[in-house]
Chain A
Amino acid sequence: MSILTAVGLTKHYGRKCGLHNLDLQVEDGEIFGLVGPKGAGKTTFINLMMDFIAPTKGIVTLFDMDCQNESREIKKYLGYVPAEGSFYPSMRVYRLLKYAANFYDDVNESYIDNLCGQFRVDMHKRVCDLSYGGLKRLAIVKALMHKPKMIILDEPTLGLDPIMREQLLEALRYEQATGATVFFAASQLYAMNEICTAVGVLQDGQLTDQKSIGKPAEHREKIVKIRVDGDITELIMSLGAKEYMKKDGVVSFLYNSDLNRLLKGLSKFDVEDIYVEDIPLERTLNYYLHEEGEVLA
């Protein structure tokens, strides 16, 4: 069942086109990543979903409700994490969270405390005293505190240290397990690669690719590189490896089967080094970005 549907969604900023005729569907319970270079229209799409701006043409619905006309009802079930957390600077964190909680039904205070502990948010500090990362963490707490049915995140890992990134992934995995859908927009996927189950590529306001991966990274194809003394071609081919290559004594291939079987087979050889990594989602989409987010190929 589709939880998010966009049909012919277009947004113009004067002469500039933010989004052009976008059709998109996100299924219930998915962790959907919208990826694309800066200025591709990712934030525009989120702003339209959140009813921050109005579309020039087309419609976007969440939970079968129009985001423009029924935004109040929709937002009861939405958690939103902006790219940069911005709140009332003079308010203390606990007051701000309490204030926000009053807009929702049944927000459990002890759950807010737990989230603050989990994301290391000091509830007694003033918002203006929080760091950039602190604001982001506060935005995450605010987004999760009412146990939303859908969480929307704009550049979710921006400003988070590796530990907090792991905490966020863990929290999103938990939310998904309890039935929530996660939608995020990011310039690069690697940070969210592990949990993503579906992905769409946005370039120049248009969706150029959309793929359902269906399973998290640990169950996806991996890149294996082995420096080994001897010929292991027969072994790895028998295990179903793909894109086999040998260069400078290093054998590399794509592997999708049980890693234990591979290790058992390799035990008969003299293995000097072994390297296993998840295949980046960008690669499955034939989409590569360099550090600044510019499309290379």
Chain B
Amino acid sequence: MNLVLREFRRNIKGLLGVTLTGCLLISLLAGLSAFLSQPQREIIYNLLGRLPSQIRELYHIQQIENTEHLMAFIYQLIIPLGCVWAIYTSIKMISFEEKEGAISFLYSLPISRQGILCYKVLSSIFQYLFFVLLTGLTAFLWFIPLEGNGFIPLSAAYSVTMLAGGTLMEGAIYLFVGLLYAMKPNAVKRPFLSGLTLYIISYAIGIAAQTVQRLEILRYLSPYTYAVPWKVLQQGIAPIEFALSFAIIFMCIGLALFIYRRKKLVL
């Protein structure tokens, strides 16, 4: 646990930064909506509704009719933030010692490479969980002014749980994809750019799968079709998405462990 805490402490500034950004984003959009009068709100929702159907389809923008729909719309912005952070933190954490030159120090301690990897991954999971919980709590609290009747309906708790669950699942996939990417030599050089690129590429795969018939099989490789907030609210997380995400996670862990054990020490 020594290593988990150390990693957590080392990343605390970045973690607080991304979590606060997420909370701020939720508060900004939800707050804007809460302080607008009903006719003003309807104007904005109509504007969104008037976007070309292709664009609305592409970005999963549906008609906003209630607070749950608004939160689903906001979560579409939170998920990419969390996912890019998950890859970034995963890459940075694994190859941090390489960058700092402290790798021989870490490897000289009585801990196996598998142990190092597992503790670091555990720390990344805790960090991502921290992000999901705090953004989820913020979203949950915004139901009070948005609903306007002084209490939070039970359905709000369910909606936020589902949305946070989707964010958690999608982020977990990216976290482990980032873990695998971190095995690449010199992966630590531009972790944020790498994270952003990986996310954009996988999103583009989803759009391609949606628009090109022949590529439809690739749809499950993309966050574009995974845990889409609107669908999550309506149908929950599909079992096939669960199964596939666990398959991807296990594959990434297995490969990362295999490579990390044989990884050449960069001195």
Task: Give the B-binding residues of A (Cβ under 8 A).
Answer: 47, 50-54, 71-73, 75-76, 78, 80, 82, 86-89, 99-100, 102-104, 142
B50 at interface, CB cutoff 8 A: no
Contact A52:B102 (CB < 8 A) given known A71-B112, A72-B112, A72-B115:
no
* Contact among A52, A87, A89, A142 with B265 in the assembled complex (CB-CB below 8 Å): A52
A88 to B265, CA, bound (A): 16
Shortest B203–chain A CB gap in Å is: 35
A103 to chain B: which residues have CB within 8 Å? Answer: 2, 109-111
Contact A53:B104 (CB < 8 A) given known A72-B115, A103-B111:
no
Closest to B112 in A: A72
A142 to chain B: which residues have CB within 8 Å? Answer: 105
* Contact among A50, A73, A99 with B108 in the assembled complex (CB-CB below 8 Å): A50
B214 to chain A: which residues have CB within 8 Å? Answer: none
* Contact among B6, B101, B109, B264 with A86 in the assembled complex (CB-CB below 8 Å): B101
Shortest A133–chain B CB gap in Å is: 17
Contact A75:B110 (CB < 8 A) given known A88-B100, A102-B2:
yes
Interface readout for B232-267 with A: 1 if CB under 8 Å, 0 if not?
A: 000000000000000000000000000000101101
Known: A53-B265, A86-B103. 9 other contacts (CB 8 A): A50-B104, A52-B107, A54-B262, A86-B104, A88-B102, A88-B105, A89-B102, A102-B2, A103-B2
B111 to chain A: which residues have CB within 8 Å? Answer: 72, 75, 103
Closest to A105 in B: B110
A78 to chain B: which residues have CB within 8 Å? Answer: 108
CB-based contact B2/A75 at 8 Å? no
A99 to B6, CA, bound (A): 8
Name which of B6, B102, B108, B112 has the most chain A CB atoms within 10 A of its CB. B108
A102 to B104, CA, bound (A): 17
State the total of A-B contacts with C-beta under 8 angstroms.
54
B115 to chain A: which residues have CB within 8 Å? Answer: 72
A76 to B107, CA, bound (A): 12
* Contact among A47, A75, A89 with B109 in the assembled complex (CB-CB below 8 Å): A75
Contact A76:B110 (CB < 8 A) given known A86-B104, A88-B100:
yes
Closest to A89 in B: B100
B101 to chain A: which residues have CB within 8 Å? Answer: 86
A104 to chain B: which residues have CB within 8 Å? Answer: 110
- Residue pairs across A and B with Cβ atoms less than 8 A apart, 5 shown, are A51-B107, A53-B265, A88-B97, A88-B102, A89-B102
A102 to chain B: which residues have CB within 8 Å? Answer: 2
Contact A87:B105 (CB < 8 A) given known A52-B267, A54-B262:
yes
A82 to B267, CA, bound (A): 10
Name which of A52, A71, A73, A104 has the most chain B CB atoms within 10 A of its CB. A52
A82 to chain B: which residues have CB within 8 Å? Answer: 104, 108
A75 to B264, CA, bound (A): 19
Shortest B7–chain A CB gap in Å is: 11
A53 to chain B: which residues have CB within 8 Å? Answer: 264-265
CB-based contact A47/B110 at 8 Å? no
Q: Count residues on chain B whose CB falls below 8 Å from chain A CBs.
A: 20
Shortest A32–chain B CB gap in Å is: 19
User: 6 shortest A-B CB distances, which residue pairs?
Assistant: A75-B110, A52-B265, A86-B101, A80-B108, A102-B2, A76-B110
Closest to B104 in A: A82
B100 to chain A: which residues have CB within 8 Å? Answer: 86, 88-89
CB-based contact B102/A73 at 8 Å? no
A75 to chain B: which residues have CB within 8 Å? Answer: 108-111
Within 8 A of A (CB), among B72-119: 97, 100-105, 107-112, 115
Shortest A149–chain B CB gap in Å is: 12
Name which of B100, B105, B107, B264 has the most chain A CB atoms within 10 A of its CB. B105
* Contact among B6, B110, B262 with A72 in the assembled complex (CB-CB below 8 Å): B110
A103 to B107, CA, bound (A): 12
A53 to B105, CA, bound (A): 14
A47 to B115, CA, bound (A): 19
Closest to B107 in A: A52
Shortest A84–chain B CB gap in Å is: 9
A86 to B107, CA, bound (A): 12
A103 to B110, CA, bound (A): 6
A54 to chain B: which residues have CB within 8 Å? Answer: 262
A80 to B102, CA, bound (A): 13
A53 to B110, CA, bound (A): 16
Contact A47:B265 (CB < 8 A) given known A72-B111, A72-B112, A104-B110:
yes
Shortest A198–chain B CB gap in Å is: 24
Closest to A152 in B: B108
Shortest B198–chain A CB gap in Å is: 27
A68 to B262, CA, bound (A): 11
Within 8 A of A (CB), among B174-203: none
Closest to A127 in B: B102
B110 to chain A: which residues have CB within 8 Å? Answer: 72-73, 75-76, 103-104
